[in-house]
Each structure stands twice: as C-alpha cells, then as structure tokens.
Structure 1
Amino acid sequence: MISKDRPSLTPRALEEVTAPAVIVGVGAGPDGPVLLTDALPQDAASALEESFELLGVRARADEVHRLPGLAGSRWPLLVLVGVGELDDDGAAGLEALRHAAGAAVRSLAGTEAVALALPADTPERLAAVAEGATLGAYTFTALKSEAAREAASSSAPVSRIEVVTTVGEEAASPVLARAAVVGDAVCAVRDLVNTAPSHLYPASFADAVREELAGSDVRVQVWDEDALAAEGFGGILAIGQGSSRPPRLVRIEHAPADARTHIALVGKGITFDTGGISLKPAASMMTMKSDMAGAATVFAVVRAAAELGLPVKVTGWLALAENMPSHTAIRPSDVITMYGGKTVEVMNTDAEGRVVMADALVAATDERPDAVLDIATLTGAQLVALGVRHAGVMGDEALRDEVVAAAEAAGELAWAMPIPEQLRPSLDSRVADISNMGERFGGMMTAAAFLREFVDAGRAEDERAAAPTPWAHLDIAGPSFNESSAYGYTPRDATGVMVRTLMGLIAGRAG
C-alpha cells in the first residue's frame, strides 16, 4: 500500500552536477521576467532573457518551458519554471520556490535524474526546493497490472534529484534528510488515500500500520471489535456495525526518553463512507475512499516524528470504520453509549466521522497530553465555507492560532474559524446527552462544537475545569483530495495536506 520507492536527494555544487536536465527559475520582476540562476554563462543567460517574449515566458506559477541545451551550457535539457512575482528585493518566497520545484519535477516524469538550480543559498530555501521536488516526484501505480506498470515506466517520476546549493555539505545534509522524511510522510498519506477501499479497510489499515512500524521504536496497539466492545468504544462500534469488515482503533506512540512535551493526534479513518442508512447520492460517493485521510495523516506524522528523533512524545489515535448500509447498520434515532459514558442520539448516519472521533478524543485526553489535535475530512460545509484548498481550524484560540501559524510557515493554507456558542444548543437531544446533528448553516463549526464535548470527557468535572486539555480541530474535507488538475507539487487525487503543518508544530514544541 505504501511505496518504498521515493526519489533520492543530493546536494551539489554547480560544477558537480551530473544530471542531464537542469531546472532554473524565472521570476516576474517589475520590468518583466528575470532569470534566477548562475548556472548559465553570462552570454547564454542574456541571450535567453532576450528570447523570453518569443518563447512566451511570463514567469507565472506552474509555467514550465523545456529548451534544448544552450550554447556554452553542458546540459542537454534546460527547463525554465516560473516562480511568480518577486519581492521588493528581487527574491522568490519559500512557498513559491517549493511550488516551482514541484511543478518542474512533476513535468519531467520520464526523466531519471534532474538538477534543480533554483535559488537555494540558505538552509530555508534549500529545504523549500528539496521538499517541493520530492512532493512533485509522485505517482500511484500500486493497483495497476504489471503490464500496465511496465508500459508506464517511460513516464515514471524522477528518481534522482540533485539540488544545486552553496550551502556547505555539513549543513545541507540534515536539511535534505529532513526534507526526504517529510516528503515521504506526505507521499505515504497519498498512497493510503489513493488505495481502493477493496484493499484498504479497517483491519488491513491496522495491519499496514503494524507492518510499516515494525522494527521501529514506535509502539502500536490495536483494538479489534471484541476489545472495542469490552472497553466500551460504542461510537466506533456503532458506525462500523453495518459493514462485514469490523472496525478498529489503533494507538501509536513515539515516546523518546528526552521528550519535552506530549502531543496527542486523533484522525478520522472512515475507509469508505456510503452515508450508512442516511445514504449519500451516488455522485457524492465517488471520492469517499478519501474519508480516512485524517487517520493516514496521524500515522504518517507519528512515524516521521520518530524517524527525525524529535524530543516530543506523540501519540496517534486512528479511529477506523467502514460506514455501510445493511440490516445490521445503525439507524437514525438510535442512541449509543460512547467511550467515557456520554450518550449520543444519531440523527444522521452520514455524520459518522464525529462519532468515531469522539471515542478516540476521550481516550486520547484520558492520558493527559499537553495538547490534542484532531484532523478529519469531516464536513461538506468546510468546502462551502473555505473552498477546496484551505483547511478550517477551530478550537482553543491559542492552539488554533499556533496551527495556523505552523501552516503559514509550512506553505499550507489554513484558516482560523470560531465555534459560535449559539450553535451548541442545536445539538441538544430530547432523549440522549447530545445529538450528532445540529444547525445546518455553519455546519463545519457545529461539528467542531460536537467534538469539543468529548475533549476530557473521561475526566472528573472539577479536574477538567482546573486543567483542561488544549484542543484544536482541523477540517480538511476540501484540500485532502484534489479533483482538479495537478498544480505545483500537488498531484490529482490525494494531496497529503497538513502533514507539513503538523510536523512544523511538533518541531516547534520540541524547542
């Protein structure tokens, strides 16, 4: 399910480049496109800039031009990639470099090795270029036949990437090592989300996590349906009871001896969502294999934190179920008892993600972490509010804003949203403690209000009041799956969004 075949990253001085193709950037300056490289002889660079108008070079993001090697250049292929508008100092921003590297490498599928001569003269710029290149060198072919994979080998993604930099090797090596780990984490999420639900279901997902973490220091615990019943995880069991493939809860833990803080992550893992008895329209099911992107993200982030040896205890909770309609499926108006004792009236079985996550949130906060973050493809209302590229972030104000700041630093799009108190009464139930459905308008925030009820719900009320666990909720329903054309380092289908944000937040907590 998860590929082991990722591109290599190597720092290179310009004179050491061996790749046959070199990628250079073109920025939009106040007087027109500007070549951003020292990789070409001055005469060749000047001649190239004079040809920009004829070549149609505008330096826009995602703009890629392939040219045969120029006179005086030793590379058979020269690739120009736009980085967009330059700042007042004539420099490209970090995300612009990341985006450009991804667009160029993605466009060079079928080329074994490339060199990136984009601006990478600082560790920060080097990291951005390396990350973008790694994320752009992605494809998913695991479910194609062997014959189809062989036929597609001529358009395989770039496998060897040389990053031209003046940063010394001693400083560059850890930067590229981290970029490789983070890139692999993002691509692991993409692999899991792109896997068909015929192959990825709760038990196989749990098995894949065990297999991937075998031999590492990350501890894995799995609750099967019997263990879930014995310990009272009523929400996960209820959502999964309509499927012939029973649910699972997976806990993974990176707990280094020098941990300075404890972060808990909770991920929604609905491996396929029909809506249950509250059946979705057929067209709305087309991308529902992606409804486990939150759980995939949690797995990838914990694994990456362990690989990087971050001095932070990180526990991940993957709430896995398949939401199917059948004679055993939960019905609208059923009441279930959650882990921790609260009762929930299920008024819509298509609001299932919040139910499985509620169980996991109680279990996660029972361990008294210093913060808990949950991530989920939770609501269609998120797309209505924020579109398909921005994640919505809700919760305790300080932690919510920390997530948004981490997203900005990582080059990802996240927007802070409130949880208006007037929405909470709409979740009241006449027969249970709470309903899983509330106010339709502002539904993204209503879902967050539901989840908030289960943070620290297993703790005594006075203890909760004295020391509540800081909590933030990330709704990634839109940006987790790209149904449009590829752009920058983002492919079609699964994106792996918010991995870099969470990695940045955890690294920041490491000090």
Structure 2
Amino acid sequence: MTALTLSTAGAATLRADAIVVGVAKGARGPVVAPGAEAVDTAFDGKLAAVLETLGATGAEGEVTKLPSPSGIKAPVVLAVGLGTVPEQDHAFAAETLRRAAGTASRVLAGAKKAAFALPIEASEDAEAIAEGALLGAYAFTAYQSGDRKDAKAPLAEVALLGAKPRDKAYKAAAERALAVTEELNRARDLINTPPNGLTPEIFANLAAAAGKEHGLKVQILDEKALVKGGFGGIAGVGQGSENPPRLVKLTYTHSKDAKTLALVGKGITYDSGGISLKPAGHNETMKCDMSGAAAVFAAVIAVARLGLAVNVTGWLALAENMPSGTAIRPGDVLRMYSGKTVEVLNTDAEGRLVLADALWKASEEKPDAIVDVATLTGAMVVALGNRTFGVMSNDEAFRTAIHETAEEVGEQSWPMPLPADLRKGMDSPTADIANMGERMGGGLVAGLFLQEFVGEGITWAHLDIAGPAFHESAPFGYTPKGGTGSSVRTLVRLAERIAAGDLG
C-alpha cells in the first residue's frame, strides 16, 4: 500500500528517489509548470531548454527522465507532460493532473519515495494529484513471486509538495484521496483475482470481514436461502456450478433522517456463458464479470470511511455461470423474486437475471434511489468503446446528474436512452418476459429488462461498465492493465452529492 504525505519541504531539499515536475506545451516549445520553480532554478532557469533538447514537448502522457543537477537532493528529475498551457488565469484541469501523477507513479515503480512538485493552486488540485499518484502506483502481484514480483513493486511513498499539511481543506483532501483510492484498488484486486481464488462464497466472506472492520451490517443469503426465498434469477444462474451463489447485503447507516441510496452490483465471478457457451477467445478475461459487484463493495466501504451523511446499502448478486447437467437451459422459465417469470433464451444473458432479483429486493426497502452497476453487454462496448460506460435511467434528470458526476471525477460516461419500442422484442409466448430481445440496441434492451424489476416510483439508473471495467491494452495515466475499478469514484461522488443535498 502506497503511503501519502503532505510536505512543506522545498523541491530542492526533500530527500527522495525522484522529484516529479510538470511540463506543458507552450506556443514556442515546452514550458515548466508551476510548482517546479526550485528545480528550474537548479538548472539555472534552463530546465525547459534542456527538456526540449531531449525531445520533450509537454504533450499529455509524455515522460522525460534526467539526472538532477547539484542543489537538488533527489538524484532524478522526472518531467511529465500536462498538455497545452491553460488560458490565462485558468488552472490545469483536475483530470490532467490526475493522469500526469498516475503516469509518473507507474514510471517510478520500485522506488521508495517520490516528491510530486506538480501545480497546486487549491486543495482540489492536491486531491487530484494524490488520487492519480496512488492509483498509478497500483500493482497486482498476489500470484507472483521472486524477481517478477519485486520488479512490479509499486512506488512506496508519495509526497505532495505545495500541499498544506496543517490546512483543514488539504488534510480532508488527502484523507478522501486515501479512502477512495484504497477502496478502488481493493476493487481492482478482486477483479484481477483468478476465478478459482474468488468464488461467490469467498467473495461473500471477504465482504463480511470488511464489513466488520468498517462497521457495516452484513447479511448473506446462501444457496438454500436463495431457493427458499424465491430468488429464481440468482439461484438459476448459479445452479450449474459446484460453487453455489450468494446474495450479500452491506448496510451503512448514518441516521434515520438521511436519504438512502441503494447500489446493486453484478457479481458473476466467472462467466462461461453457461449452456450458451462463449466461443474460444472470449473466456479468458471473464473473471472480470464481477466488476460491478466489486465497484459497489468498494464504494460502500469508501462511503463508510468518509462518514457521509447518507444511508447506503450495497447488494452483491454473486454467482458462477457454468455449463453442466444441472445448469439452466435455453428455453427454461425462471420465477424471479418479484414473482415475474422469465423465459431464458440465452444463458449468456445471465447478468440481468441476477440483477433482477437484487433490484427487486433492494426496491422493497423503498430507497430514494437505486443505481446498478454491471459489465452487462458487449453491445455497449460496440456503442461506446473501451473507456466509456453507458448510463440509463427511468429519470432523465437523475441520468444527467450521474453523467455529470462521472465527468467531474474523471470517469468517461455517456447518457443512453431506454426506447419503449424495444420492449416488445422481449415478449415471450411462454413467460412474462424473455431475457433477450432485438439484437440491435442490445445494451438498451438489457436496460429495459432491468427496468421491469425496479419498484414503482423509485428513481433508478443503470451503469453498463462492460467497456472500461477491464483494460487489456497498455497502461495509461493512472489506469493499469487489468481491472480498473470503473465507476467507484462516480458512486462515491454521487453519495457525497446526495449527502450534501445537491440531488433531490
């Protein structure tokens, strides 16, 4: 776990393995960003010229390492690009600082301490830099050993220069950054864990342990309780596996008068597709199909750590979708917890089945709002790509608020519709509804299916994170290869907005 400190030390005098400075893209070449004045002075005011000689332009994501001159105790200066110089009197955007800090942390993997002398004008800047640095320092090494594990060791300590350790706003910013990033990295660990190391039962036990640590009430329904309780969706999906399903409820209570936000996460710990088996090449990353449950789990704990004035319940719908003699078949009909019957036309459309039960169970408590999170459809990846999640809702204002919240914290999202005409495609001659509809607009069809299992009059939104939940390409900014923890920051910020009364 990477440590975070706020330091009043000068950039030239702080002892560290490296000092990180920002360089921006100016009209006539690279420009040293605010915060690096002492370092520039040590270079006789020629740091920008030296960087330009080495090929630096200041473009976002660009990294240049150079040895420190005399007068600087850190042996290495790492210049990270911030992009175009902001217009006059405009600070660098929080996401720009976040990504730059994340890039620097990744480059400095294995170092004991790095001092970040990036532009800080307010506590919000310090928080963004801290978040980026702590997220960029992430590495998943639980299943590696020896030299390979040592080579991936994350940066051990991040020191923020220019932050004010005695200022309440800066201290609060640092505490928030630690809580959010540590829980987001917890979600990443879960997503990256191989499926034989994270069955529904193991996930539920981890939730129970974390809940006890952070003062949450935890309730777990095992396979017998799910069958007895009529949870046909979760029990049905899980019945094909030797690792039985679970439904976990995490409860954080602030006060009786606080608004209540229910979060529901899809937790398919491994998705083979069931009898509708996935083709070769599509199974290898299906350990990530529990990313929604991981995000909900992490968000609830972060909310508890921050002590927010909102009541939050997290529902983890956990199952393993496997083909076997006991698995559900295309053509089977399941009776859901709501009482509705569902004809299963494709067993690989299982996420909506487990979510449907959890959504109805969450609805019984009549929360002020419900948000579900799921790696639900490949169609959403086709529509929005690998870095953007879709947002659907039965309330346009709430959908807009979530989209704005995601953009505020640096997560890419896009509002999507729920066209009523697509509902007819899920009509079933046998049951109340089928779990498949029209192929075109499949992500929207899935949203319409889920909407059928939201209690009347309850504001609800659906986040399809199938694209950004698991990153298979080269790392960038603070985003690693593998599990990303997509939507955790959005959910936490949404809870903060509700607590502050920003949302009705």
Normalised by the length of structure 2, the TM-score is: 0.96
SS at match of 1:272: strand
**Partner residue, 2:3:** 8
SS at match of 1:374: strand
**Partner residue, 1:460:** none
Counterparts of 2:141 and 2:48, CA distance in 1:
39
Amino acid at match of 1:497: S
SS at match of 2:139: coil
Deviation at 1:404, TM superposition (A): 0.5
Deviation at 1:169, TM superposition (A): 2.2
Question: Deviations 1:193-220 (Å, cap 9, x if unpaired)?
Answer: 0000011011111011112222332000
Within the alignment, does 1:20 sit opposite 2:17 as a pair? Answer: yes
Counterparts of 2:152 and 2:303, CA distance in 1:
32
**Partner residue, 2:428:** 429
- After TM superposition, what 4+ stretches of structure 1 lie above 4 angstroms from structure 2? none
SS at match of 1:65: strand
Unaligned stretches of 5+ residues in structure 2: none
Amino acid at match of 2:104: A
SS at match of 2:195: coil
**Partner residue, 1:130:** 130
Deviation at 1:27, TM superposition (A): 1.0
**Partner residue, 1:104:** 104
Contact kept, 8 Å, 1:11 with 1:169, in 2: the verdict is no
The Cα RMSD (Å) is: 1.3
Contact kept, 8 Å, 1:27 with 1:92, in 2: the verdict is no
Cα 1:213/1:472, change in 2 over 3 Å: same
Alignment of 1:318-329 (within 5 A): 318-329=316-327
Cα 1:96/1:255, change in 2 over 3 Å: same
Counterparts of 1:234 and 1:298, CA distance in 2:
22
Within the alignment, does 1:507 sit opposite 2:496 as a pair? Answer: yes
SS at match of 1:356: helix
Within the alignment, does 1:94 sit opposite 2:94 as a pair? Answer: yes
Counterpart among 463, 466, 469 of residue 458 in structure 2:
469
Within the alignment, does 1:270 sit opposite 2:268 as a pair? Answer: yes
SS at match of 2:64: strand
Amino acid at match of 1:137: A
Question: Deviations 1:254-299 (Å, cap 9, x if unpaired)?
Answer: 0112652100000000000010000100201111000000001110
Counterparts of 2:75 and 2:492, CA distance in 1:
38
Contact kept, 8 Å, 1:83 with 1:100, in 2: the verdict is yes
Cα 1:41/1:431, change in 2 over 3 Å: closer
**Partner residue, 1:295:** 293
Unaligned stretches of 5+ residues in structure 1: 1-5, 457-463
Counterparts of 1:288 and 1:141, CA distance in 2:
19
Moved more, 99-108 or 66-75: 66-75
Identity of aligned residues (%): 49
Counterparts of 1:218 and 1:309, CA distance in 2:
12
SS at match of 1:268: strand
SS at match of 2:197: coil
Counterpart among 197, 212, 218 of residue 199 in structure 1:
197
Amino acid at match of 1:160: E
Within the alignment, does 1:82 sit opposite 2:81 as a pair? Answer: yes
Deviation at 1:380, TM superposition (A): 0.2
Cα 1:72/1:298, change in 2 over 3 Å: same
Counterparts of 2:117 and 2:454, CA distance in 1:
48
Amino acid at match of 2:48: E
Counterpart among 157, 160, 171 of residue 160 in structure 1:
157
SS at match of 2:46: helix
Deviation at 1:154, TM superposition (A): 4.5
Counterpart among 313, 337, 340 of residue 339 in structure 1:
337
Moved more, 15-24 or 48-57: 15-24
Counterparts of 2:375 and 2:48, CA distance in 1:
45
**How many residues align structurally?**
493
**Partner residue, 2:120:** 120
Amino acid at match of 1:65: T
Counterparts of 2:403 and 2:207, CA distance in 1:
28
Amino acid at match of 2:263: L
Amino acid at match of 1:9: L
Deviation at 1:52, TM superposition (A): 2.6
SS at match of 1:479: coil
